[in-house]
Chains A and B, each alone.
Chain A
């Protein structure tokens, strides 16, 4: 299951974006957007996050919507 970010916790530091080996994350405004197609489930971003804002997505429609639904 791809990751999702909890905007209540996230401090928009961009660090998860910088470590993601699959280029699946992007910081838009103050929120992290996950490209669920690209995410390879490696959890690197979760290990980095200074505030534990990332977790595995529990349900299909999470707090974060996939990139293709944007723009």
Chain B
């Protein structure tokens, strides 16, 4: 009876809320370890509407245990081209290639992988709140596609419900994003763009306070003339809507967009504040965007979500084996995540604070000082010796860096 795709039991080992990249990787790993796994997703179609620029580094695919798949890896990317305010672009090839992915297909493929391992998917079903009894999370209450409210119980609930993060909030964990810590994003997918084909092999980034305060504009190409053209602006620093900034910029750049056609409109919120310090409770873990696990400089979060999912799934399996779902046990998840990724993101957080203080003139100056490699290292906070270079050439910018990093 339980193998009928239309029928769902009331009890599981693990319930995962949300079938984004984080949720489905967690589901795949849990099911692979033999856990009875249920994914509850409120959307009727996975991946839509898209809220993403769709850039994914290959290194993240390795971390997530994913192989190249031409159905969703639609274009290979060799690096980045950054256009500072004075337009003197900087081409940054990198050894770590990446892909522009088609998320609608990507998310479905991830669910297929998890499904083949035995995870169950309940779509168009919205989790209303987690069930908490005696201080422990015991499952969720969800509203299905008939409007029926039902209880589903599990030993562990993993909240992978994205930036809205309703499940954690329902048990009093504060995952609300402060306005200063959220990027307001808007994006078009456009075709018939007029661009040098060579440039489409890089992600194209435009920075400057005039065009995108506290953020940037991007063009991530899916083919020689088709791209996600989007913007993220800091919600406090912006003076008009993200859409207005993007529309103005597109209008001012007819050399690319004069004959372009818009085939998709989308947007979203990128949580660029600090990750939630304790993303767990008794019987409960929070992964990905729901726990603000995102690179706060470039806003990439798919890879980080999938990485956190793998750690959470591993800890869930251990917990279930030892029949210990306490927050003391599940804190292992947070410990390992902070060690693998969290600490690095806190450093990137400081880079973000520094970059946010720069004027357009200083952006131009920084571009003169730093080589391609230096800029990349800045966004990953991997090598601070580059800052020494800044110190020597521009004391004023250096002072700002010191302030941000102290």
Of all chain A residues, the one with the shortest Cβ separation from B266 is A11
Q: Which chain B residues numbered 148 to 172 have a C-beta less than 8 Å away from chain A?
A: 149, 162-166, 169
Q: Work out how many contacts link A and B, with CB atoms closer than 8 A.
A: 84
Establish whether residues B269 and A11, one from each chain, have CB atoms under 8 Å apart when the complex forms: no
Choose one: A12, A21, A71; the contact of B49 (CB below 8 Å).
A12
Choose one: B126, B164, B179, B267; the contact of A50 (CB below 8 Å).
B267
- Given A48-B184, A52-B243, does the pair A19, B268 have CB atoms closer than 8 Å? no
- Given A11-B266, A26-B166, does the pair A50, B243 have CB atoms closer than 8 Å? yes
Of all chain B residues, the one with the shortest Cβ separation from A25 is B164
Contacts of A23 in B (CB 8 A): 169, 176
The A interface, classified by DSSP as helix, strand, loop or mixed, is loop
Choose one: A13, A30, A49; the contact of B51 (CB below 8 Å).
A13
Contacts of A51 in B (CB 8 A): 186, 241-243, 267
Question: Cα distance A58–B166 when bound, in Å?
Answer: 28
CB distance from A21 to the nearest CB of B (A): 5
* Proximity bits, B35-50, A CB within 8 Å = 1, else 0: 0000000100000010
Contacts of B163 in A (CB 8 A): 14-15, 17-18
Contacts of B179 in A (CB 8 A): 19, 44, 47-48
CB distance from A33 to the nearest CB of B (A): 11
CB distance from B316 to the nearest CB of A (A): 25
Give the number of residues in A that approach B within 8 Å (Cβ atoms): 23
Establish whether residues A17 and B164, one from each chain, have CB atoms under 8 Å apart when the complex forms: yes
Residues of B within 8 A of A (CB): 42, 49, 51, 126, 143, 147, 149, 162-166, 169, 175-179, 182, 184-186, 235-236, 241-243, 265-269, 271
Given known contacts A13-B269, A26-B166, A50-B243, what 14 new A-B pairs fall within 8 Å (CB)?
Answer: A13-B267, A14-B51, A15-B182, A17-B164, A18-B164, A18-B176, A18-B177, A19-B178, A23-B169, A23-B176, A28-B42, A48-B179, A50-B267, A50-B268
- Give 17 pairs: A residue, B residue, CB < 8 Å, sorted on A: A13-B266, A14-B51, A14-B164, A15-B182, A17-B164, A18-B165, A19-B176, A21-B176, A28-B126, A30-B49, A44-B179, A47-B179, A48-B179, A49-B184, A52-B243, A71-B143, A71-B147
